[in-house]
Amino acid sequence: MALLIPCRGNDPQFGEDCFLAPNATIIGDVITGDQCSVWFNAVVRGDVNSIRMGNKVNIQDGAVIHATYEKTKVILGNNVSVGHNALVHGCTVEDNVLIGMGAIVMDNCYIESNCIIAAGAVLLEGTRVESGTIYAGVPAKKVKNLSPELFEGEVQRIANNYIMYSSWFKK
């Protein structure tokens, strides 16, 4: 069973049909939508501020979701995939976004809908990512617009696959 830790009077809350890996850690003021998954060694730390996730959000292995005390919270929209070992900190991510493996998204970033943040990208504090784009690099910059093929083949495919993967672990 995942490690669920109450903090400051808040218990993590989960929607319907969610999967929590046995060694995932979810702390405090965390609320998810339906069909979400938090994978092996991922940490979702709602101790210093709130974390809200829409439906069909997957937090992949080793990822960390956190915020800044009394300053920033985390809001993840629907259909958001946070890749392996990514760090998402004190930011807002709208619907249909893929945050690639090892990416870092810092405080006060705002990622609009239908985007990809490439693997290893670093979004510096306060970066705004416009809808329908791909950002990559250190620091991350817009590299191109997101094609319908990439949207379907990556953003949608990965979010849907993680619902399928989680079904393999449910008893």
| For range 24-38, the mean pLDDT | 98
Contact criterion met (CB below 8 Å) for 49 and 31: no
pLDDT tens readout for residues 67-108:
999 999 999 999 999 999 999 999 999 999 999 999 999 999
Tell me what the mean pLDDT of segment 46-73 comes to.
Answer: 98
How many whole angstroms separate alpha carbon 121 and alpha carbon 128?
14
pLDDT band at 170 (very low <50, low <70, confident <90, very high): confident
Evaluate if residue 171 carries a pLDDT over 90.
no
Arithmetic mean of pLDDT, 116-129: 98
| pLDDT tens string 16-30 | 999 999 999 999 999
Domains of the chain: 3-165 (2.160.10.10)
Tokens in use for 96?
A: 């249909």
Q: pLDDT band for position 137 (50/70/90)?
A: very high
Using a 10 angstrom Cβ sphere, with 0-12 exposed, 13-18 middle and 19 or more buried, the burial of residue 71 is exposed
